[in-house]
Amino acid sequence: MACIGNKTNLKAALSIATSALLGTSVATTSQVQAKDADEWQFDTAYLLYSEVDRVTAGEAIIAGTKTYANDEILNLKFTVDALTGSSANGAVAQPNAQTFTRPSGNGQYVTPAGETPLDDTFQDTRVQLNGQWTQPLVENITGSVGGHFSKEYDYLSLGVNGNLAYDFNKKNSTFSMGLSYFHDIFTPEGGIPKPLSSMLVGDSSSPEWDSEFAKTRVGDSEDKSTADILVGFTQVISRRMITAFNYSYSMVDGYLTDPFKVVSVLNTEGLVQDNIYENRPDSRVKQSTFMQAKYHFDEGMLNMVADVSYRYMWDDWGINSHTIDTRFNIPVGRASYIEPHLRFYQQSAADFFKPFLIEDQSSIDFISADYRIGEMTAVTVGAKYGVVLTGGNELSIRLEYYHQMPTNSGFAEPAALNGLDTAPVVDAIIVQVSYSF
Amino acid sequence: MMQEKRTIKVSKQKDGYGITFNAMACSCEVLIQTSDKNLAKQVGLCVSDEVWRIEDKYSRYDRQSICSQINTSEGRKVSIDEETYLLLNFAEQCYQLSDGLFDISSGVLRKVWAFDGLSCECQHFPNQDDINNILSFVGWHKVIYDRHSITLPNKMQIDFGGIGKEYAVDRCILLAKQLTDKPLLVNLGGDLAVTGPREENQPWQVAIENPKSNKPEKKQDMIIAINQGALATSGDAKRFLIKDGIRYGHILNAKTGWPVAEAPRSITTVAPQCIQAGILATLALLQGKDAESFLTEQEITFWARR
């Protein structure tokens, strides 16, 4: 006689199979099956991001989803990031070696001649917790609320969000609206540098050092708040096609400067005279529009699902960006797929972005040489392979290559910078392994 | 097979309406507790359209059906839609859970097992070579499918007979619930489900036919009260074979190619959804003489006829 499962597994497995077939939630089936609904669905992932000669980040995620009776869904996500390596401090390369003081004020580091100055003290661990509760409110309206907590050694972020989605037109159309609010507190080691003040360089073991260093500081901590409004519309066009449109408006107020970044002050020949701490405006209004189309091709096109999206972002700092993201999900055999990914990104520089400052130029209010708000083009290419294992658990691996090319948005370079790489490219490899059970 | 006439009949009953129609070679019925005749008719049309849709799509007798397209594909890849994929996936789960006993590709075995209730004493008992020969065209594990397509090896066939009717019941309940909150029952030839208890929390009284009895007044000898969920019956006492004093039912063991010996004539089970009840009853029958103990061990409510 064949052995069919164990005692409780058959009923449980059948009710899960049935809910998959009928698109109903397991929990609504009946009290008899209530036990099955108590089970959590887990997704785990490990991601490694590694820039050539710069930052390496490892990230582990575990997310659990539990569906209750009446289609209520609880989602909890726990993330741990660890960051090590070096990050550009904003100063330009020079024909001679340069000395910089660490952000903490404890010691100095030297950048060899001809190299991009990198602060090698980057090391941080971040713990993040997100929770989201989603439930139907009235017919065709789903509500969702969530909370966010994230903590680093020198950073604390707290956030709340709420969303409403309205289905109509036989659930072929969905209109959604969301609000979120974040409050972040930044307490960098060594305090907040005084904007535009000169970086103190000298003998940090001398008795006067601490009092001199303190003169370049304005406090221990700063904070910022972010409020976002998101409006979205999703439309099923046909059985093969679905489209989505989003608009978001984001207001950030508070400390938006990066306390670890400086700007080189050059003489007319191009030699560094001074490094001053950067200063950014204390507010930023960001808007973006997003459109996406997914199309499910037939057998002639390998049953592929094409996912193409475009985002346009603009803000009152003068940055605008275009992102084109394409993914092609191609089934391979009975239970696996391969998904090539291509992403193109281009942004213009912020109005106050300058790769360096020339001495005796007229006075400035805001300045930053952070390449992340400069003009740049970036490309990501990669692929993901996923396989459904026996028992229904899914394993996937993603491998991507990221190439970022800063471009000079019309800054004439003095003679001493000739032949030096003042806009270095960033190359990174991304590897992610995910497992769902 | 001639198509039955596709009309529905609405009739007033004591505390609601009954809608009857024919589909899937059986008589079908919807009972709804409402005084609104238009609503009853609307629900009746919605349910019957859905049953006919599923019949057209998955009947192995209909040459236009996706089932026939797959069965005549001669080893070529056939495109499938999401619904078909989900049904195949469900069949796959049942195959796995039953360790291969339940197999939607076992239908070709009927070529050697001709069941006929009237000529019960075996006339065309196949020999083992015939069975072995046809068994090489059975085996769900040989079928390749994914979300978008299925490839069936040449000469193999699949058939949704073991799950189609029960699936239709569940689909109808889902659709009917979108139209009304009134209590209702969908019954497709004995496989049935209810949306919930009747008014004032009264259960539905469901009579199960006794296939052995030929006397009309004794035909329905078993009454089951159901508040929630579904009932399905597997087994057909009219179709069996007897050889060497052993009675074989019409349920075939996909692994041996033989009908299951000494199984109950029929088993009725309850489950939250009809398709679950149907599978549980079928899996129990496949256990032969151990059918009842199998269900008892799984803590499943059932009624068996021997």
Nearest partner of B193 among B223, B226, B229, judged by Cα? B229
Q: How far apart are CA B274 and CA B299, in angstroms?
A: 17
Q: pLDDT at residue A14 above 60? A: yes
Cβ-defined contact of A303 to B79 (cutoff 8 Å): yes
Is residue B103 helix, strand or coil?
coil
Q: Identify the band that residue B124 occupies on the pLDDT scale cut at 50, 70 and 90.
A: low
Contact B275 A15 (CB under 8 A): no
Of A2, A22, A335, the CB nearest to B273: A22
- For residue B59, the SS3 value is coil
Instruction: Determine what percent of chain A is predicted with pLDDT higher than 90.
Output: 63
DSSP symbols for A274-292 = EEEE-B--SEEEEEEEEEE
Distance from CA of B271 to the nearest CA of A (A): 8
Tell me the chain A residues in contact with residue B81 when contact means C-beta distances shorter than 8 Å: 239
Domain limits, chain A: 1-39, 59-320+353-373
In this prediction, residue A7 has a pLDDT band, given cuts at 50, 70 and 90, of: very low
pLDDT recorded at residue B304: 86
Question: Residue A178 to residues A157, A160, A253, B95: CA-CA distances in angstroms?
Answer: 19, 11, 19, 44
Q: Which tokens in the block code for residue A168?
A: 């109509």
Q: Which of residues 28-67 of B touch A (CB under 8 A)?
A: none
Interchain proximity B148–A299, CB inside 8 Å: yes
Contact B151, B141 (CB under 8 A): no
User: What tens digit of pLDDT does each residue of B224-264 get?
Assistant: 888 889 999 888 655 666 677 777 777 888 888 888 888 88
- Residue A16 token pair: 């899960």
Tell me what the mean pLDDT of segment A366-389 comes to. 93
Amino acid at A100: F
- B162 and A CB contact within 8 Å: no
- Mention every residue, 6+ apart, whose C-beta is less than 8 A from residue B123: none
Residues of A in contact with B229 (CB under 8 A): 29-30
Q: Which residues contact A52 (CB under 8 A, 6 or more apart)?
A: A426, A427, A428
**Pairing relation of β-strands A283-296 and B220-226?**
unpaired
Strand partners, B202: B198
Considering only alpha carbons, which residue of chain A is nearest residue B283?
A4
Chain B window 116-145: which residues touch A at a Cβ cutoff of 8 Å? 144-145
Least confident of A413-427, B140-154, B208-222: B208-222
| Per-residue pLDDT reduced to its tens digit, A41-75 | 788 999 999 998 889 999 999 999 887 767 788 99
> Which residues of A lie closer than 8 Å to B, measured between beta carbons?
1-5, 7, 10-11, 13-15, 17-18, 20-22, 24, 29-30, 32-33, 239, 296, 298-299, 303, 331, 333-335
C-beta atoms of A18 and B90 within 8 A:
yes
Q: Which of A7, A21, A24, A336 to mutate to test the interface with B (most CBs of B within 10 A)?
A: A21
Name every residue whose Cβ is closer than 8 Å to that of residue B165 and which is 6 or more positions away in sequence.
B24, B26, B188, B189, B191, B278
* Distance between B18 CA and the closest CA of chain A, angstroms: 25
Mutate which of B85, B97, B296 to disrupt the A interface (most A C-beta within 10 Å)? B97
Instruction: Tell whether the model's pLDDT for residue B2 goes beyond 50.
Output: no
Question: CA–CA separation, A214 vs A217, rounded Å?
Answer: 5
pTM of the model: 0.58
Kindly identify which residue of chain B lies nearest to residue A8, measuring between CA atoms.
B298
Nearest-Cα residue of chain B relative to residue A29? B272
Give the pLDDT band of residue A29 (cuts 50, 70, 90): very low
A390: nearest CA in chain B?
A: B96
pLDDT at A122 over 50: yes
Q: Does B99 touch chain A (CB under 8 A)?
A: yes
* CA A145 distance to own-chain centroid: 21
CB contact, 8 Å: B204 with chain A? no
CB contact under 8 A, B97 and A299: no
Whether residue A331 and residue B86 make contact (CB cut-off 8 A), yes or no, is no
Instruction: Dump pLDDT digits (tens) for B58-98.
Output: 998 888 899 999 999 998 999 999 899 999 999 999 998 88
Amino acid at A416: A
CB pairs under 8 A between A and B: 103
| Residue B167 near residue B75 (C-beta atoms within 8 A) | no
Do residues A21 and B90 make contact, with C-beta atoms less than 8 angstroms apart? yes
Q: What is the pLDDT of residues A382-417, one digit of tens each?
A: 999 998 776 567 899 999 999 999 988 778 888 888
CB A334 to CB B144 under 8 A? yes
pLDDT of residue A61: 94
Q: Taking CA atoms, what residue in A is nearest to B253?
A: A2
Contacts of A11 in chain B (CB under 8 A): 271, 276, 280, 298-300
Residue A119 has pLDDT above 80, yes or no: yes
Which has the closest alpha carbon to A419: A188, A128, A92, A58? Answer: A92
Of B93, B98, B272, the CB nearest to A32: B272
Query: B148: which chain A residues are within 8 Å (Cβ-Cβ)?
Result: 296, 298-299, 303, 331
Count the helices and strands in chain A (H runs, E runs). 3, 23
At A149, list the tokens: 């907590």
3-state secondary structure of B291: helix
Q: Is the predicted pLDDT of residue B118 greater than 80, yes or no?
A: no
Cβ-Cβ contacts under 8 Å, A22 against chain B: 170-171, 174, 273, 275
Q: How does pLDDT run across B176-197, given as a tens digit for each residue? A: 998 998 999 999 988 999 998 8
Say yes or no to pLDDT of A9 above 90.
Answer: no
Locus of tokens 């390496």: A56
Do the chains contact at A18 and B300, CB–CB below 8 Å? Answer: no
Pick the residue of B86, B147, B287 with the most A CBs within 10 A to test the interface with A by mutation.
B147
By Cβ distance, the residue of A15, A30, A331 closest to B146 is: A331
Q: With cut-offs at 50, 70 and 90, classify the pLDDT of residue A331.
A: confident
Amino acid, res. B45: L
Say whether residue B181 is in contact with chain A using an 8 A CB cutoff.
no
Chain A: closest CA distance from residue B96 (Å):
9
| Tokens matching residue B206 | 């469901």
Q: In chain B, what residues touch A333 (CB-CB under 8 Å)?
A: 144, 146
Burial degree of A28 (CB within 10 A; 0-12, 13-18, 19+): middle
> Looking up tokens 């971040």, which residue turns up?
A126
**d(CA A437, nearest CA chain B) in Å:** 16
CB contact under 8 A, A18 and B286: no
- The pLDDT assigned to A39 comes to 64
Q: Would you state the pLDDT for residue A106?
A: 86
CA B141 to mean position of chain CA atoms: 22
**Count of residues making up chain B:** 306
pLDDT at A320: 96
pLDDT digits (tens, 9 = 90+) for A270-312: 999 999 999 999 999 999 999 999 998 887 888 889 999 999 9
Q: Token pair of A6, please?
A: 């164990």
Considering only CB atoms, A4 lies closest to which of B77, B276, B283, namely B283
With contact defined as beta carbons under 8 Å apart, do B145 and B80 qualify?
yes
**Residue from B83, B84, B276 to probe the interface with A (highest A Cβ count within 10 Å):** B276
State whether the Cα torsion A197-A203-A204-A205 is positive or negative. Answer: negative
Taking a C-beta distance cutoff of 8 angstroms, is the pair A104, A190 a contact? Answer: yes
Q: Give the residue, B210 or A286, on which the prediction is more confident.
A: A286
The Cα of A333 is separated from the nearest Cα of chain B by a number of Å equal to 7
Res. A170: pLDDT tops 90: no
Q: Are B186 and B20 in contact (CB under 8 A)?
A: no
For residue B88, give the nearest of A20, A418, A75, A78 by alpha carbon.
Answer: A20
**What is the pLDDT, as a whole number, of residue A27?**
41
Whole-number mean pLDDT of chain A?
88
